[in-house]
Structure 1
């Protein structure tokens, strides 16, 4: 994970070169937003203070929500929020953020159980991501990555 402007611009250019529709994540920079807009790509930056590896999210719920509102005033139409990486209460933040912000919201980071998937359905973000939980076999302990992914897909299809 990188947080400096040059690295974020490099990532944006790679996304453009690959023909992606969205760039999700990265710390917000005006330069990244401008480059993506010029190339017709949607940008869902992180909100709040994101740092570290693995990433953590700092700031009060109110500060994070205000950060999103400030970015929306700059034309940003969606956000990547590391709710469960919040240093206080990730679920409460996710609920408050989704209720307060009318935008495409992706909840990313630490969606690592069927209970958290259920919470995502309850909260209702635009989308959520899952990564490490599949590699770490959080859903099928003795299964492969594919087995874990299939378990999640089957579970979600049953909802």
Structure 2
């Protein structure tokens, strides 16, 4: 992801939406080539169908883990392997996940920092989050980081810049992005990409209309 990547998430408030399959078709028709979903909201067979649709459309697939307890996260990782997604985002149990992903070809971007709640929030100071990011990114088998920057209580541009500077691995900024200025801040910080789900599906991103096609076009125009 040399250029800033927009990853469209088929999710609202950290849950995959019931009508996600229809949104995949809209996104593919709009030229979106990075599409993901969460590990909660739909049963595994429905997630499998989403994965098939995304890949059949020539797009890159992402599954983001938002389950916080170890057993649920392990189940989600096994599901990601079964689904054959290209990227696994999120999760916090790195020591448990790395052995499972070895040899699968799935690129792994866990959360740095202390994650709590659902929808997930990022706790801690900039220094604490950067320390966590540096430690996690230094692990063999970790391909990048999934940073909940706009779910934190700190100076977000400063946080993103510090985390991106702490590692040469790509950083994806996830969660609560709903306007062009935030995307520009992500770019200026040196991140590799960002996710948007809720704001596009709820028609909240500034655009010529509230429909998904207009929302995706407006977001893509910020790249």
Same fold at TM > 0.5: yes
Change over 3 Å in CA distance of 1:74–1:10 after alignment to 2? same
Runs of 4+ in 1 over 3 A off after TM superposition: none
Which ranges of structure 2 fall in alignment gaps of 5 or more residues?
Answer: 1-65
Tell me if the contact between 1:108 and 1:128 (Cα under 8 Å) persists in the aligned partners.
yes
Task: Tell me the C-alpha RMSD between the 2 structures.
Answer: 1.7
User: For residue 122 of structure 1, what is the aligned residue in structure 2?
Assistant: 188
User: For residue 156 of structure 2, what is the aligned residue in structure 1?
Assistant: 90
Q: Identify which range, 20-29 or 108-117, moves more after superposition.
A: 20-29
Q: How does 1:80-159 map to 2 (within 5 A)?
A: 80-139=146-205, 140=207, 142-156=209-223
SS at structure 2 position matched to 1:43: strand
Q: How many residues align?
A: 156
Question: Greater relative contact order (Cα 8 A, min sep 6): structure 1 or 2?
Answer: 2
Greater share of residues in strand: 2
User: For residue 9 of structure 1, what is the aligned residue in structure 2?
Assistant: 74
Greater share of residues in helix: 1
Q: CA deviation at 1:150?
A: 1.5
1:71-93, CA deviations, whole angstroms, 9 ceiling, x for partnerless residues?
A: 23432231101011112222211
User: For residue 107 of structure 2, what is the aligned residue in structure 1?
Assistant: 42
Which ranges of structure 1 fall in alignment gaps of 5 or more residues?
Answer: none
Report the Cα distance in structure 2 between the residues aligned to 1:37 and 1:63, rounded to whole angstroms: 28
